[in-house]
Chain A
Amino acid sequence: MLGFGADLLWADMNRLLAFLFHQGVLDEQFLQLQQLQDHTSPNFVSEVVNIYFHESEKLLNNLRSLLMEREFSDYKKIEIHLNQFIGSSSSIGAKRVTSVCIAFRAASEQDNRAGCLRALEMLEHEYCYLKNKLHELFQIEQQRALAAGVRYPMQHQ
């Protein structure tokens, strides 16, 4: 029964991943991360993604603070933060977030404050969506690992 549960969870995980790929939320770079995960680093993907979340939240706060400044004019700083965001998002395969960052950077290069604000809202939305979906994926993975781990002793009864 529990083995069956692990298989169902495995199917759920794959379905969610396929959905995220199909929607363009993730790209093949995420698969690269999964390929790096092994018995010596069983939580490698979630560790990398957690670093990404931590860094992204700082960057988003910085971007919002900059754009909310009354006398804002430092587009160079915006671009520096965005280059970091682009780098880290592409490193984990966060395709849609990367695209939004690139569009945001284009607005910044044109000194377009209104465009930047719109792009920031879109970026916050996409990032939030990605974060929720990845949390969901890791939760299923944890449940599957638990279910698979419990299955082993039962096979010997």
Chain B
Amino acid sequence: MASPQNFASKLTALVVDDHKIYQKVHQKMLNNFGVKSHVVENGKEAVDIHWHGKKFDLILMDMDMPIMNGIEATKELRAMGVCSTIVGVTSRSTEEEILKFMEAGLDDYQEKPLTIPKLTSILHKIINSNPI
């Protein structure tokens, strides 16, 4: 089967999720597109990795996580000046929760589970907004 592999091979991504299955699935999806990805388990680790100077083109941010949740982490990252595309991914979907998450500074929100077409669309948007 012909695949869109490597059209996004210059991109980097951070998967922020405490759920092992989503960590594995989202990382594999990204790897299949040639995206170099890193996984952290909660919002605090996401913030810390940025304090250490790491940058990512895309951050897939779960909402419900221990220690620091996705809403708090997104607010902190934006306050730090992080301009990466941050996409909230969560299985919770009340309108109030989505709004709160978006207002924290998300560029986009997707319901879990993330699908290959959705991720393709996200990656294309990033590439098109940063042409080389």
Q: Are B21 and A48 in contact (CB under 8 A)?
A: yes
Contact A84-B19, Cβ < 8 Å, known A32-B115, A91-B113: yes
User: Do B21 and A51 touch (CB < 8 A)?
Assistant: yes
Tell me if A's interface is mostly helix, strand, loop or mixed.
Answer: helix
Given contacts A83-B91, A83-B92, A86-B91, whether A51 and B24 have CB atoms under 8 Å apart is: yes
Complex CA gap A83/B91 in Å reads: 8
Q: Mark B28-43, 1 if CB is under 8 A from A, else 0.
A: 1101100000000000
Contact A36 B28 (CB under 8 A): yes
State whether the Cβ of A99 lies closer than 8 Å to any Cβ in chain B: no
Which residue of A has the minimal Cβ distance to B29? A36
User: Which residue in B19, B28, B116 is a CB contact (below 8 Å) of A88?
Assistant: B19
Distance of A118 Cα from B99 Cα, bound (Å): 35
Tell me, yes or no, whether B112 is within 8 Å of chain A by CB. yes
A-B contact count (CB 8 A): 46
On whether the beta carbons of A92 and B92 are closer than 8 Å, the reply is: no
Which size class do B's interface residues fall under?
A: 10 to 19
B64 interface residue per 8 A CB criterion: yes
* B22 and A91 form a contact (CB under 8 A): yes
> Cβ of A44 < 8 Å from any Cβ of B?
yes
Q: Is the CB of A87 within 8 A of B112?
A: yes
Q: Mark A100-132, 1 if CB is under 8 A from B, else 0.
A: 000000000000000000000000000000000
User: Contact residue range for chain A?
Assistant: 20 to 34
Residues of B close to A32: CB separation below 8 A: 113, 115-116
B: residues with CB less than 8 A from A are 19-22, 24-25, 28-29, 31-32, 64, 91-92, 112-113, 115-116
Q: List 26 A-B contacts (CB under 8 A).
A: A32-B113, A32-B116, A33-B25, A36-B25, A38-B32, A40-B31, A44-B28, A47-B24, A48-B21, A48-B24, A51-B20, A51-B24, A55-B20, A55-B21, A86-B91, A88-B19, A88-B21, A90-B91, A90-B112, A90-B113, A91-B19, A91-B21, A91-B22, A91-B25, A91-B112, A92-B21
